[in-house]
Structure 1
Amino acid sequence: MGHWLLAFVSAFGAVFLLELPDKTTALTLVLSNRFRSRPVLAGATVAFALQAVISVALGSAITLLPERLVAAAIAVLFGVSAVLLLRESLAADPDDADAAASSRANTPYLRAAAISFGTLFITEWGDASQVTAIGVAARYANPIAVGLGTFLALMSVTVLALLVGRKLRSRVPAHFIQRGAAAVFGVFALLAAWEVFA
């Protein structure tokens, strides 16, 4: 039991600390600005469950990919996301908060959940938390504990971001949140590009 608990705590603690200031938080804030919280949470639950299973089960496959290839893909993904968010925030009418709220309320549940799933699932590929889960799984050889710890850490960060997103939505105009997220994504793109060329 002690070995299982140590593997669980190691996975949870490492992934939680890595993800708290990471792109998952920023992306969840953006998703919570666009959609209601429940479908975002549902999409995140499925995405992170799959990511935890894949990280633990196929961990060695990720380590075989060239680091530069993974970093380049991440740089492009975040660069494009930053540009799209910035463009959308500049095109948005600051007085159009009612329309944004209406759009958020009118987006079908399954569509919002599917978009949340796809976005979060793809952005976690090659992420530090995924590599960490792979390393913890290899060290402790306890896939259930590591998978559960990884999943619960990712979900904890997501729930925190959804709660913060709800508070921000009522106090900060959507275009400011989008511009902030675009800046964060731009930084992530630059950091990933640095890994490619460093």
Structure 2
Amino acid sequence: MSELVGATLAAFGVVFLAELGDKTQLLAANFGSRHSFRKVVAGLALGYGAASLVAVTVGGVLGANLPQRPIEIVGGVIFIVFGLLALRSDDDEGDEDGARRAMVRSSVVGAIAVAIFVAEMGDKTQIATATLAARSNPVGTWLGATAGEVASGSLGVAAGSLVGDRIPPSVLRWGSAVLFVAFGIAMLVGWP
């Protein structure tokens, strides 16, 4: 049991610190400026949890990392597509159909989860998580890494929430689009 707790605490500390100022924390801030805290954190938890599971599986089971360059290329293209999709306006305001609102709500959580998952592939925290999983308890590493990423991302969401009400929706939409496209281009050219 102490190995599980030790691995969890070590992964939490390493990953939390590595995520501070990372591109996914900036994305979380952007999402927090446009959507409710609860939706964004749910999306973060799903995306980070899945990304950490991949890293733990690679590090703990295979003992190697997935090739980084193809992941960066696919991720870059996906981010550019997300940037273009961000320009569409959110029409869920004022809609009285409960089923449609539920679908929009779940699609927001899903979109955030996918964006975070893609952004994390090949990232420094993925490499750190895979390395930790290869050396210690994979379950504890997954728990700690996921919790560290969600905690760091939540700080970004809180920051985004503070400014989100003060910025017009059109500026947020364009800012989001520019941020996604910029990260996509950075991933395509191989910039950190």
Shorter-chain TM band:
0.7 to 0.9
Residues 95-174 of structure 1 correspond to what in structure 2 (within 5 A)? 102=93, 107-108=101-102, 109-138=105-134, 140-174=135-169
1:96 is matched with none
2:10 is matched with 10
Contact 1:33–1:174 at 8 Å: present in 2 too?
no
2:68 is matched with 67
Contact 1:70–1:126 at 8 Å: present in 2 too?
yes
Partner Cα separation in structure 2 for residue 55 and residue 178 of structure 1: 32
Partner Cα separation in structure 2 for residue 155 and residue 127 of structure 1: 15
Q: CA RMSD in A?
A: 3.3
Residue-by-residue CA offset, 1:63-115 (whole Å, 9 max, x unaligned): 45332211211222223333444xx2xx87xxxxxx87936998424343333
- When residues 43 and 64 of structure 1 are mapped into structure 2, their CA distance, relative to the original with a 3 A threshold, is closer
Percent of paired sites with the same residue: 25
- Range with greater deviation from structure 2 (115-124 or 99-108): 99-108
Residue-by-residue CA offset, 1:99-141 (whole Å, 9 max, x unaligned): 8793699842434333333333343333322222001111x32
Identify the structure with the greater helix proportion: 1
Gaps of 5+ in 1: 93-98
Gaps of 5+ in 2: none
Contact 1:35–1:104 at 8 Å: present in 2 too?
no
Partner Cα separation in structure 1 for residue 39 and residue 58 of structure 2: 28
Contact 1:45–1:155 at 8 Å: present in 2 too?
yes
Aligned residues between the structures:
185
Contact 1:30–1:178 at 8 Å: present in 2 too?
no
2:32 is matched with 32
SS in 2 for 1:58: helix
